[in-house]
Amino acid sequence: MARLNVNGRVVEIDAPADTPLLWALREQAGLTGTKYGCGIAQCGACTVHIDGEAVRSCSITLEGVSENQKIVTIEGLSPDSSHPIQKAWLQLEVPQCGYCQSGMIMAAAALLAKTPKPTDAQIDEAMTNICRCGTYNRVRAGIKLAAGV
Amino acid sequence: MNAIVRNAPFSLSRRSILKGAAASAGAFTLGFAVPFSEAEAQAGTPEINAWVVIHPDDRIIVRIARSEMGQGTLTGLAQLVAEELEADWSKVGWEYPTPGENLKRNRVWRNFSTGGSRGIRESHQYVREGGAAARIMLVQAAANAWNVPASECRAAKSVITHTPTGRSVTYGQVASAAAKLEPPKEVVLKPAKDWTIVGQSVKRLDTADKLNGKQVYGADIRLPGMLNAAIKACPVFGGKVASFDAAKVTGMRGVKKVVQIGPNAVAVIAETWWQAKTALDALPITWDNGPNVNASSETIAAMLHSGLEAEQAFEGNKAGDARAAIAGAAKKVEATYSYPFQNHACMEPMNATALWTPQKCEVWCPTQNGESALAAAIEASGLPAAQCDVHKVHLGGGFGRRGRSDYVTQAVLIAKEMPGIPVKLLWSREEDMLQGTYHPITTARMVGGLDKDGNLVGLHMRISGQSILAGVNPQALQNGRDPVVFQGLNPGGQEGPFGYGIPNLLIDHAMRNPHVPPGFWRGVNLNQNAIYVECFMDELAHAAGIDPLEFRRKLMKNAPKHLAVLEAVAKGIGWGAPAQPGTAKGLAQIMGFGSYVAAAAEVSVSNAGEIKVHRIVAATNPGHVVNPDQVAAQVEGSFVYGLSAAFHQECTVKGGRIVEENFDTYPALRMAEMPKVESILLPSGDFWGGVGEPTIAVAAPAVMNAIFAATGKRVRSLPLKNADLRRA
Ligand code: FES
Ligand code: FES
């Protein structure tokens, strides 16, 4: 039994210690906003924040996270989709199918938390998530809109 | 209620829908075949006709038969209905009717298939008529209530006004009376110049839930008591399961059952998916690899090569005598191009959830073709059609892959092992990569003849390779010939006309079908055909010593629509003006999916051979544009899909199976590689074309032609990652 701090709540997870955080979130905590795309840290669909860092949750197991660490998933980013990234995404119609967007939004939010006015090069470096629908240019524009740059 | 997925604008969230679906699924013995009648009786919500439902509080639900997979068709179709309905757009929501309901109602919503960029271009007429008919009935109901002629009443923004007296009533107030009226025999549609909703960049109807994790995709479905399944099919196509040792994993945590599914797959059913996948990975399986185990990329290349010189070939387009003209030409130019297998790699792997009992079968799944999914469910369940249904959910990408229902068949067969318990089948990314329906593999020999003035007097294009139809729908072949192979090359029609007027022309196809299953892959055959034709046109222009734009212009005198998009991108990229230092430009155009498209690229290649695409200008004439912002999004996305394919993607074959299993060996374009895309829309207003796919086809050739301009090296096979462009 692992205890996690997810979106400000303590959640008991009844799963072996080698279970990837992604699947514990989706299947034990019932937070399906965090997506499975590759399972090998390639696509970023599973991105969550751990203590403010963007982390690919498919590639970290329960034993790699302690109860003291604060995990934030897309469901906990804001109570009402009011995070500047979410607002910019709505305004610019960033999502197409949307499947990658939880991860995109979490990666972008982590970037802005550290680098409030990112350059294009900083955006390129931070945003390595895969989007098969092809929303990259709107993702970039959305980050800039949210950052006011 | 349980049989439809609703997304009304105000009250119902997708989550509550699925809860509702779940609740009724649990209580399925009550019968599920009552979607509209029961639900609407309860809610007091009149259906005006198959397309339009209006709540007493004025909320409008537009029924959408096609599938939303990111391409925006849902919003576009709702705009078309709302336009004729004279609806207040802010009150418009949507829902999917089920394919089972469609069957029961004599296919009132017609085709559910969502592919080939056909969503809007094939249904705009009848969905608009649906909206117009509903409006006429609403107006008539108001006129009846006021006891005035309908001709004295006007409808606008969901309000009906009696013009002489100024009395007014909202749609919601007359909806139940309107629902009882006879539908009009004839409707007249609005002329395009009067459109107020169509042609506007209204916001998509399905964005909000994609921003906060609420959007439920197939992979996210949860039903009470649901189990999860992971599956492995024989990675060698044509192979079977020889044996597996279930006892080795049945004691593992959460595992409920290990079952063979069909001749070639084994599934583990467990409480959670992670448990199922862990057990499946630990399960010893022996495969009977079957007849294709010695096939490889090399044997397939040799097979295709044999078609380049073959006597027998199917003709696609012919004028004059190309072979004779080339033989007599002052200069002969020849080149061989090739295009690899590619996986769709939808962001959301294939999945379906099924519930089976001896009395009924229900499936929840992301599908591009609800009716094909239903057919698969009926067949796999062994139940009569009336006892089966499919509930569509949003797709995490489709790109053609989800037009096939193999995963639905598997899910139902798995659910049959657990009667009364819903089971969700989710493929791993590896399974998704290995069990694809791949972009067809082809090669083409291009031979052109130039006269002494550099005029193209003859062209022979010999395509050799795979036919999608032969793989997926052999009944559709015409005396063995696959007409789809000639997409963009035909003498006329929606998948042509070929834009170049060449006096002596022969385009033919020697069919060579390797064992790897082909499928419709976003852009389909237009992808490789545009590369073959447009890169070779560039080669011919250079051989003739004529500017590539000028060379094309001369051949496009009778193709003004093709030429217009080409001229637009040439202007946009600054063709003819000196390029930025170190960069070079390339052009391409093609017609397909009913639309005219062109692209221009500005590219640089470093001394180390690294390609950078700086800028893309794209032009599209789709006839009509329903939502300009969404068309622009499709064009932008097309370059990501097309450039991912052009730069990175290739499925190679070894031992009869696909080698690449995940995004580490099958990469996609990422943000840092993404060029700026300027999208020019040039709707000419006289036809309806598609936009989801055609632009993909011009991405690669525009870039490949620019690479030649930058380096003098002609790349003739994809992906570009295999090309050596280092400077000596
Ligand atoms: S699922 Fe974690 S990076 Fe792809
Ligand atoms: S929006 Fe579909 S994968 Fe990114």
> Residue B83 and residue B125: Cα distance in Å, rounded?
12
Instruction: Phi first, then psi: give them for residue B423, nearest 5 degrees.
Output: -130, 130
What ligand 2 atom has the least distance to the C-alpha of B347? 3
In chain A, residues with a C-beta closer than 8 Å to the C-beta of B348 are 35, 37, 97, 99
Please give the domain boundaries of chain B with CATH numbers for all domains.
Answer: 2-209 (3.30.365.10), 218-290+350-426 (3.30.365.10), 309-342+438-722 (3.30.365.10)
Contact B79, B123 (CB under 8 A): no
Paired with B653 in beta bridges are: B658
Predicted local distance difference test score (pLDDT) of residue B23: 33
The helix (H) or strand (E) run that includes residue B255 is strand B255-261
Pocket of ligand 1 (CB under 6 A): A 36-39, 41-46, 56, 58
Pocket of ligand 2 (CB under 6 A): A 95-101, 131-133, 135; B 70, 347, 397
In chain A, residues with a C-beta closer than 8 Å to the C-beta of B15 are none
Predicted local distance difference test score (pLDDT) of residue A24: 98
Q: What is the DSSP letter of B105?
A: T
pLDDT in tens, B533-555: 999 999 999 999 999 999 999 99
Smallest Cα–Cα separation from B507: which of B552, B467, B463?
B463
Length, in residues, of chain B: 728
Smallest Cα–Cα separation from B9: which of B75, B77, B81, B102?
B75
Contact B539, B445 (CB under 8 A): no
> Residue B436 and residue B35: Cα distance in Å, rounded?
34
Residues with Cβ within 8 Å of residue B10, at least 6 apart in sequence: B57, B59, B93
Predicted local distance difference test score (pLDDT) of residue B20: 34
The helix (H) or strand (E) run that includes residue B562 is helix B560-573
Predicted local distance difference test score (pLDDT) of residue B578: 87
pLDDT in tens, B371-384: 999 999 999 999 99
Instruction: Phi first, then psi: give them for residue A48, nearest 5 degrees.
Output: -130, 175
> Residue B708 and residue B715: Cα distance in Å, rounded?
8
pLDDT in tens, A106-136: 999 999 999 999 999 999 999 999 999 999 9
The helix (H) or strand (E) run that includes residue B24 is helix B14-26
**pLDDT at B19 > cutoff 60:** no
3-state secondary structure of B400: coil
Ligand 1 pocket test, candidate residues A58, A104, A130, A132, most atoms within 8 A of CB = A58
CB atoms within 10 A of CB A14: 9
Give residue limits of the domains in chain A. 2-76, 84-147
Structure tokens at B118: 């056909």
Give the minimum alpha-carbon distance from A88 to chain B in angstroms, rounded to a whole number.
10
Determine the distance from the C-alpha atom of residue B386 to the mean position of all C-alpha atoms in its chain, rounded to a whole number: 29
> Which spans in B577-694 are helix H?
628-647
Q: How many CB pairs under 8 A join A and B?
A: 171
pLDDT in tens, chain A (149 residues): 899 999 999 999 999 999 999 999 999 999 999 999 999 999 999 999 999 999 999 999 999 999 999 999 999 999 999 999 999 999 999 999 999 999 999 999 999 999 999 999 999 999 999 999 999 999 999 999 999 99
Instruction: Phi first, then psi: give them for residue B489, nearest 5 degrees.
Output: -115, -5
CB contact under 8 A, B213 and A75: yes
Give the minimum alpha-carbon distance from B424 to chain A in angstroms, rounded to a whole number.
12
One DSSP character per residue, B28-61 reads GGG-S--HHHHHHHHHT--EEETTEEE-TTS-EE
Please report, rounded to a whole number, the percentage of residues in chain A having pLDDT higher than 90.
99
Q: Torsion angle, CA of A81/A87/A92/A98, rounded to 10 degrees?
A: -20
Fold observed for domain A84-147: DNA polymerase; domain 1 (1.10.150)
Instruction: Phi first, then psi: give them for residue B192, nearest 5 degrees.
Output: -55, -30
Q: Chain A, 32-91: which have a CB under 8 Å from a chain B CB?
A: 32-40, 42-43, 45, 73-75, 77-78, 81, 86, 89-90
Question: How crowded is the C-beta side of B705, counted as CA atoms within 13 Å?
Answer: 30
In chain A, residues with a C-beta closer than 8 Å to the C-beta of B204 are 93
Determine the distance from the C-alpha atom of residue B643 to the mean position of all C-alpha atoms in its chain, rounded to a whole number: 17
> Residue B543 and residue B527: Cα distance in Å, rounded?
24
CB contact under 8 A, B641 and A132: yes
> Residue B457 and residue B543: Cα distance in Å, rounded?
14
Q: Which amino acid is at B542?
A: H
> Residue B476 and residue B104: Cα distance in Å, rounded?
27
pLDDT in tens, B353-365: 999 999 999 999 9
Contact B108, B50 (CB under 8 A): yes
Contact B198, B92 (CB under 8 A): no
> Residue B276 and residue B167: Cα distance in Å, rounded?
64
Please report, rounded to a whole number, the percentage of residues in chain B having pLDDT higher than 90.
91
CB atoms within 10 A of CB A124: 17
Paired with B509 in beta bridges are: B314, B463
Give the minimum alpha-carbon distance from B181 to chain A in angstroms, rounded to a whole number.
39
Tell me the pTM.
0.94
For residue A32, the CA-to-ligand 2 centroid distance in Å is: 16
In chain A, residues with a C-beta closer than 8 Å to the C-beta of B212 are 33, 74-75, 77-78, 81, 86
What ligand 1 atom has the least distance to the C-alpha of A42? 3
Contact A83, A75 (CB under 8 A): no
> Residue A54 and residue A48: Cα distance in Å, rounded?
6
Contact B523, B646 (CB under 8 A): no
pLDDT in tens, B448-486: 999 999 999 999 999 999 999 999 999 999 999 999 999
What ligand 2 atom has the least distance to the C-alpha of B396? 2
> Residue B664 and residue B361: Cα distance in Å, rounded?
38
Q: What is the DSSP letter of B388?
A: E
pLDDT in tens, B491-506: 998 888 999 999 999 9
Please report, rounded to a whole number, the percentage of residues in chain B having pLDDT higher than 70.
94
CB atoms within 10 A of CB B621: 26
Contact B486, B494 (CB under 8 A): no
pLDDT in tens, B597-606: 999 999 999 9
Predicted local distance difference test score (pLDDT) of residue B43: 53
Reported ipTM exceeds the 0.90 cut: yes
Alpha carbon of B508 to those of B311, B319, B503, B529, B559: distances in Å? 11, 12, 16, 12, 22
For residue B663, the CA-to-ligand 1 centroid distance in Å is: 10
Q: Which of B274, B664, B670 sits opposite A40 (nearest CB)?
A: B664
Q: Which of B215, B253, B426 sits opposite A98 (nearest CB)?
A: B215
Alpha carbon of B163 to those of B152, B243, B523: distances in Å? 6, 78, 50
Determine the distance from the C-alpha atom of residue B559 to the mean position of all C-alpha atoms in its chain, rounded to a whole number: 27
Helix axis angle for B526-544 and B548-555, nearest 10°, is 110
Res. B134 pLDDT band, cuts 50 70 90: very high
CB atoms within 10 A of CB B162: 19
pLDDT in tens, B169-205: 999 999 999 999 999 999 999 999 999 999 999 999 9
Paired with A94 in beta bridges are: none
> Residue A37 and residue B170: Cα distance in Å, rounded?
46
Identify the residue among A136, A139, A144 best suited for mutation to test binding to B, counting B beta carbons within 10 A and taking the highest: A136
The CATH H-level (homologous superfamily) assignment of domain A2-76 is: Beta-grasp domain (3.10.20.30)
**pLDDT at B13 > cutoff 80:** no
Furthest-apart CA pair in chain B: how many Å?
A: 87
Q: Is A109 on the interface with B (CB under 8 A)?
A: no
CB contact under 8 A, B636 and A100: no
Please tell me whether the peptide bond between B719 and the residue prior to it is cis, using omega within 30 degrees of 0. Answer: yes
CB contact under 8 A, B211 and A101: yes
pLDDT in tens, B304-356: 999 999 999 999 999 999 999 999 999 999 999 999 999 999 999 999 999 99
